[in-house]
Structure 1
Amino acid sequence: MSGIPRPGRPGFLALELDGDGAHPAAWRHARHAPDELLNGARIRSTALAAESAGFHVATFADGPVSSGRDVAGRLNALQRAAFAGPVTSSIVLVPEVDTVYTEPFHVATQLASLDYVSGGRAGWLVAASGSAEEAAAVGRSFVDGAALVHEAAASVEVSRRLWDSWEDDAVIRDVATGRYLDVDKLHYVDFETPSDFAGPGYSVKGPSIIPRPPQGQLPVVAQAGLLPSDADVVLVSAPTPSLLAAELAEVRRAIAGGGAVVGGGPTLAGGAAVVAELDVVLDSRGQSASARLAELDAFTPWSSSRARFVGTAAELVDFLAELLAVADGVRLHPAVLDVELEELAQLVLPELRRRGVLKPVAQGTFRELLGLDRPVSRYGQVGASAGLGAAAGAAVVGSEN
């Protein structure tokens, strides 16, 4: 991997906590009763296990589940993350939330709520469903391609404006005067979709119904290409481990070059963190990883667009160390959550820490983990639009003339 730009600092690890694991037959090897998958105790135990193992971030996948013969139901990702918030103390919680079939105002307020209940440990994994089946299920017109990118960008822009619509000191709680809010520090966002918007157009007036989140702006996580210029974290996938290293190098060069277009690809946000996506199958309790994978695939073959590591914990340590020399972080998708998490906690993360390639676990915000400053509200800056109080006053004056 010589000649590849290197971050030059320790990285972080994220773990996907959806269901029983990334493999569709994972439920057959889960170490819990079937009826425990969808209860709060399971959410609590997996989140705490990931935190105890030393993972920096937990992600929660969402969306319609396969209609095949395997698991056919899941709890909402945002609700799972919100449940995990008060029972954890250091791990960052990043639910996947769709931008096409979910109202942007509700997305923004629910994510802001998650940031509050987690103490600033929230992020947003942006998704944009391009499935005609999913569109029909929710009674919406089907969009794909560039239209999906536009819908995702619009939803993120609305959310960012709503998070800024309350200035940080808008809540004054002045008992003497009976004023709870300084209405001059609440702002309309006045968003309207452009005329060439492919999906149903909408407008959002604002302000939000929730004060500005603890982080100001929640970090936005997206697959490379979905939010070319507005993601704080870019997820990079490739079909094989060797191609993953090359893809990471290309993305890293693009960001190091100030976000320039590389190889005909999209323009990348200049300050975005680069995170590798990796499926993981490990040796466990005397059974080789390849034998375990063959056993799982005999029930239901595993199809994934991500690179897949199959091997020992020691081999994974070496590979992750290589990836973290190029990427800011790696998100692991365990084949069977209960099995892989045990091996990762006992054999992989401790050795990575010994080698000094992982950031220390700290009780901070997601922005702090990424090295991002807390931004000032765009509406609180000099020259920004007047607050609701001033707007109301202007309306009264106008009505008298």
Structure 2
Amino acid sequence: MSTQPATNEPRGRGLLLLELDGAGSHPAAWRYSSTAPAAVLAPENLRGTVLAAESAGFHAATFSDPGLPDSLQAGQQGQGPDTAARLNALQRAAFAGPVTRSLALIPEVDTVYTEPFHVSTQLASLDYVSGGRAGWLVAASTSAADAAAVGRDTVPGEGLSREAADSVEVGRRLWDSWEDDAVIRDVATGRYLDVDKLHYADFEGENYSVKGPSIIPRPLQGQLPVLAPAGLLAPEAVAAGAADALLVSAPTPELLAAELAEVRAGLAAGGSEPALIAELDVVLDARGQAAADRLAGLDSHTAWLSPRARFVGTAAELTELLTDVLAWADGVRLHPAVLDTDLEELARRVLPELRRRGLLAPNSPDTRFREQLGLTRPASRYGTDAAAATAAARAEN
């Protein structure tokens, strides 16, 4: 969790995140992309995109998981064959790890229909291949197809929130299940591990239990930063430290600052202070065409059904909006309508001006994602010092 003091005053950390979603976040983006449809999912395209995002100065890239929620799929029926083309988010992020140097890599991973043990180990592996630049964007699928694929019924209502919180808790326990110095590589005795520094997670939930320990060493960051949409996790889970950052949207871009201040005040009242990341869809004037005309052309094929606030306008107008929002948010995640077109404008006209105004955080190679969020590296909860502190606290109570 963030260690910033609870306040309702403006503040900012100056982080910019970019969603790398196929040809773009608009479902008809492939029709207007300069990348041929057959090449959108090619490794060369992904390599070029993440390097372009890093070169532009973005601090982090997020990767959406395959498929669309059933509600969006239903809303698009009869409007055309467009869908967002994606490969598995974790695999894309892992591919980008060795290619990049400063870009944090944050895959979206479901917490309801995926095994939490496997999720935790895959994310820990991502932290290693990226040199400590991994994060976890928590998702809770409402898709009947996702449920059927694993032989489960769909999880309704509050069950989504509980399962998401349980999955995060399992991940955190498993990341801590190896102490930092558990790997000893003692050639003389032939021991690779000190088994006394491996610990059981011992999680008992409503629908599953996890014993542990993990099958790989503790991540480089100790704990990967966990991001979640605001409202997904129950307030008590957030207060207990389930999420390090919350993604916040609003009905319109003009209301983002007010929404951020309201969310922050509510979190402070509950005793928690995760970072806040504003969500924003973006359509810019580009290549001689007005943003409104570009959007109309895209929507003529398939309507863009998105819960996020949407900006449609010039690069200069977006710069002013981000200047305002970054005073209240720790960061902003941008969702370009057509990735290559809008990223070009962002790289040439928006990020340089924000940097000139001193609004963006430094972007240094090999900086770990926790450092970008202002988080220290935590000790394992099962380590000797942590265990002794926990026992002392229980004794006092």
Q: Is the TM value for this pair above 0.5?
A: yes
Alpha-carbon distance, 1:73 to partner: 4.6
Out of 368, 373, 387, the residue aligned to residue 384 of structure 1 is 387
Out of 207, 210, 219, the residue aligned to residue 216 of structure 2 is 210
What SS does the aligned partner of 2:311 have? Answer: strand
For 1:181, the aligned partner's letter is L
Alpha-carbon distance, 1:45 to partner: 0.8
For 2:221, the aligned partner's letter is Q
C-alpha separation in 2, matches of 1:136 and 1:245: 40
Alpha-carbon distance, 1:4 to partner: 5.6
Mapped contact 1:164–1:378 kept (Cα < 8 A):
yes
Deviations 1:35-69 (A, max 9, x none): 11121111111111100000001000114244851
Alpha-carbon distance, 1:366 to partner: 0.5
Out of 5, 18, 26, the residue aligned to residue 9 of structure 2 is 5
Q: Which residue of 1 aligns with 2:285?
A: 283
Count, aligned residues:
366
Q: Which residue of 2 aligns with 1:186?
A: 198
C-alpha separation in 2, matches of 1:37 and 1:187: 43
Mapped contact 2:264–2:273 kept (Cα < 8 A):
no
Structure 1 range deviating more: 133-142 or 75-84: 133-142
C-alpha separation in 2, matches of 1:162 and 1:48: 32
Matches within 5 A, 1:244-255: 244-255=256-267
For 1:284, the aligned partner's letter is A
C-alpha separation in 2, matches of 1:174 and 1:340: 53
What SS does the aligned partner of 1:349 have? Answer: helix
Mapped contact 2:23–2:35 kept (Cα < 8 A):
no
Matches within 5 A, 1:236-315: 236-255=248-267, 259-260=268-269, 267=270, 270-315=272-317
Query: Aligned in 2, Cα 1:104/1:352: closer, same or farther, shift over 3 Å?
Result: same
For 2:179, the aligned partner's letter is E
Q: Which residue of 2 aligns with 1:330?
A: 332
Question: What fraction of aligned residue pairs are identical, expressed as a percent?
Answer: 70
Look at both structures and tell me which one has the larger radius of gyration over its CA atoms: 1
Deviations 1:239-287 (A, max 9, x none): 21122222111012234xxx32xxxxxx4x6230001000000000110
Alpha-carbon distance, 1:98 to partner: 0.0
C-alpha separation in 2, matches of 1:372 and 1:271: 12
Out of 34, 37, 60, the residue aligned to residue 34 of structure 1 is 37
Does residue 111 (structure 1) correspond to residue 123 (structure 2)? The answer is: yes
Mapped contact 1:278–1:306 kept (Cα < 8 A):
yes
Matches within 5 A, 1:51-66: 51-65=54-68, 66=73
Structure 1 range deviating more: 161-170 or 297-306: 297-306
C-alpha separation in 2, matches of 1:209 and 1:18: 31
For 1:6, the aligned partner's letter is P
Structure 1 range deviating more: 79-88 or 23-32: 23-32
Mapped contact 2:22–2:40 kept (Cα < 8 A):
yes
Structure 1 range deviating more: 341-350 or 245-254: 245-254
Alpha-carbon distance, 1:5 to partner: 1.4
Q: Which residue of 2 aligns with 1:394?
A: none
Higher relative contact order, chain-length normalized (CA < 8 Å, sep 6+) = 2
Query: Aligned in 2, Cα 1:126/1:296: closer, same or farther, shift over 3 Å?
Result: same
Q: Which residue of 2 aligns with 1:341?
A: 343
Deviations 1:284-337 (A, max 9, x none): 011000010111111111111100000000000000000001000000000000
Deviations 1:374-397 (A, max 9, x none): 000000043739xxxxxxxxxxxx
Matches within 5 A, 1:76-95: 76-95=88-107
Does residue 221 (structure 1) correspond to residue 227 (structure 2)? The answer is: yes
Q: Which residue of 1 aligns with 2:46?
A: 43
What SS does the aligned partner of 2:246 have? Answer: strand
C-alpha separation in 1, matches of 2:191 and 2:312: 61
C-alpha separation in 1, matches of 2:306 and 2:333: 14
Out of 15, 19, 23, the residue aligned to residue 16 of structure 1 is 19
C-alpha separation in 2, matches of 1:188 and 1:27: 47
Mapped contact 1:98–1:126 kept (Cα < 8 A):
yes
C-alpha separation in 1, matches of 2:378 and 2:308: 33
Alpha-carbon distance, 1:72 to partner: 6.5
C-alpha separation in 2, matches of 1:232 and 1:84: 23
C-alpha separation in 2, matches of 1:127 and 1:297: 26
Alpha-carbon distance, 1:341 to partner: 0.2
C-alpha separation in 1, matches of 2:360 and 2:286: 24
Q: Which residue of 2 aligns with 1:153?
A: 165
What SS does the aligned partner of 2:171 have? Answer: helix
Q: Which residue of 2 aligns with 1:392?
A: none
Q: Which residue of 2 aligns with 1:372?
A: 375
Query: Aligned in 2, Cα 1:153/1:32: closer, same or farther, shift over 3 Å?
Result: same
C-alpha separation in 1, matches of 2:156 and 2:330: 30
- Give the unaligned 5+ runs of structure 1: 261-266, 386-401
Mapped contact 1:5–1:252 kept (Cα < 8 A):
no
C-alpha separation in 1, matches of 2:166 and 2:91: 23
C-alpha separation in 1, matches of 2:361 and 2:36: 35
C-alpha separation in 2, matches of 1:345 and 1:371: 25
C-alpha separation in 2, matches of 1:93 and 1:247: 26
Alpha-carbon distance, 1:214 to partner: 0.2
C-alpha separation in 2, matches of 1:238 and 1:357: 22
C-alpha separation in 2, matches of 1:10 and 1:188: 36
What SS does the aligned partner of 2:184 have? Answer: strand
